[in-house]
Each structure stands twice: as structure tokens, then as C-alpha cells.
Amino acid sequence: MKLGELLEGLDARRIDGDLNVEITGLSYDSRQTRPGHLYFSTARDATRNRANIDDALNRGARAVVVGGWDGGTARPAVTLVVSERPRLLMGAVASRFFGAPSERVDLIGITGTSGKTTTSYILASIFEAAGMPTGIIGTIGIFIGGKKIYSGLTTPESIDFEAALLQMEHEGARHAVAEVSSQGIAEGRVEALNFRACMFTNLGRDHLDYHATIEDYFAAKLRLFTEILPRSKRADTVAVVRGDDPFGRRVLDAVKGPKISFGIDRKLEVHPEKFDADLGGLRATLSVLGQKIEIQSPLIGEINLLNILGASALSA
């Protein structure tokens, strides 16, 4: 694909070099760069940034995206692209390069302090039981049909995310369930994705090492529902939100489009009519948008009942 096609209409402050060069791959880790790649330099430290760029160029990068440039490593045969936010540009370019697979695979994003991983696997098991192959992207890794293809960040960088979605599509997955971390949102890793649904589980005081305050932490999560989901090209998008969590109530108030509330409170759209929880597991009658469903699970505790309620709301 031509570099100009990948960059057309996107945020590039300056371009020096040939836009007609053929790009054969994308990379953000210089060690993974191959001849013909477009390399995105995302290091915050200037010295590390220059070292990474040099490494990528030595490995054959044909074009480089940087946040700033001092001219120290410029090479005549390389096209230089300067962008205010290279990670945001990386997401948009990755979507184009891989053919925007989230426009075809039903992508479901789950965010919150706790419950993301368990809810992801419960939801995937529901889809699989209904005969709908499902991929999983999250803390444990990226899985397609039980096969692990990636280990790394909970929410992968956009190049890895888009590549995984395309592989899921090629292998017949109709759905993909992804854990979406606040850091992944803040760094723009999911900005160009087309979510079919997004879910909010809860908010606690974790991750304040990255976010300055709990309000900053919440603001990052909220963007998934007020900015990223509304931009989706998918029809009939929906927000699924735990309505008996104080931050969840704020999400519900902020969401302008279709939404489903879940939780223990019987006033919510998905809730337990009755339940028993002991060391043997959970037994419950759920009300899911007015439909009664009997469930029995070896999972224990009210927290897992909430995870089951959230997955049930997403699959409704």
C-alpha cells in the first residue's frame, strides 16, 4: 500500500520525502522492523527515541513517523512524517493497512477496574456455546479458537490489535471480546476501532500510579462511551453499564445513545430475581430485559454474579 494512501486526510504536521513509496508492513518496536516498513517512534525519552529510529532505519524502514525531529538521523532514502501524536496516527494508519476488520467483526470492549477478564471469558463462552466463534483480547493474551497468538499489554498497541482482528476474521471469528484499559484509552490504542458494544464494570482506586487522580482515571474510561463508541461505524451500537456502581451511574447519565443497565438492584434492566451463593457456586434466576433465565455456575461470590449479569446483558 502506498504511504500517501495510508496518510491521506490524517494528522501529519510535516512530510519530507516520497509519498509514493510502497509500505509492506507497520512496526512500533524497532526490533520488529523489516525492509519496507513504516515505523512509528513512540518513546518519550529523546535519546531512546533517536536510538530506536536509527535501529529501525538500519533494519530497512522505508518511512518513519515521529513526534518531533532534530534532523540528526535523517537519511535521503527515507520519508519522514512528523505528527503531534504518533500513537493516534498509528491507530488510524493501522486500521487502513489491515482493512478495518472491526467494521466486520463484532468488537465488544469491556472496561472497569475489576471484572474485565472474567466477564470476557464468560461472554466468549456464551457465544461459543451458541455456535459463534469468538476471539479474546486481554490480560492473559490474545486467543483465537483457544490458540494463543500474543502475550503483552492488556490492551495491545493498535498495530497488534488490528492485526489480531484481521486474523480472527480470516479464521472465522464473528465476535471479539477485548479488555480496554484506561491506559490503552489514554494512549490512543483503541481510538480508530469500531466497537459494536462497550461495557463498564466498576471503578476503584487502582492505577492511580498512571492517572493523577481518580477523576482523571474515570475521565479516561468515560471517553470510551462518550467519544469512541459514538464514532463507531457499526450499526446499533450499545453501552452496557453497571447501574449500581456510583461511577457507573455517571456513565449512564453521560451516554446519549442506546444503553443497558445491569446490577443487583432490581430496578436495573438486567438483574437477579433471586440467587444463592455459597462455596458450591452460584444459582440464580436472572431477569434479562424482561426474560427470565435460570443459571448455575461453579463461580463463587457476588462479584461473579455481577460478571455473569454483565455478560448476559452484552449477549442479550
Distance, in Å, from the CA atom of 206 to the CA atom of 200, rounded to the nearest integer, reads 15
* CB contact at 8 A, 214 and 208: yes
Domains of the chain, start order:
3-97 (3.40.1390.10), 101-315 (3.40.1190.10)
pLDDT mean across residues, the chain: 93
Label residue 10 by pLDDT band (50, 70, 90).
very high
Give the pLDDT confidence score for residue 11 in this predicted structure.
86
Give the pLDDT confidence score for residue 316 in this predicted structure.
84
Label residue 45 by pLDDT band (50, 70, 90).
confident
Confidence check: pLDDT of 70 > 80: no
- Among 195, 197, 213, 194, which residue's Cα sits nearest to residue 205? 213
- pTM for this model (two decimals): 0.93
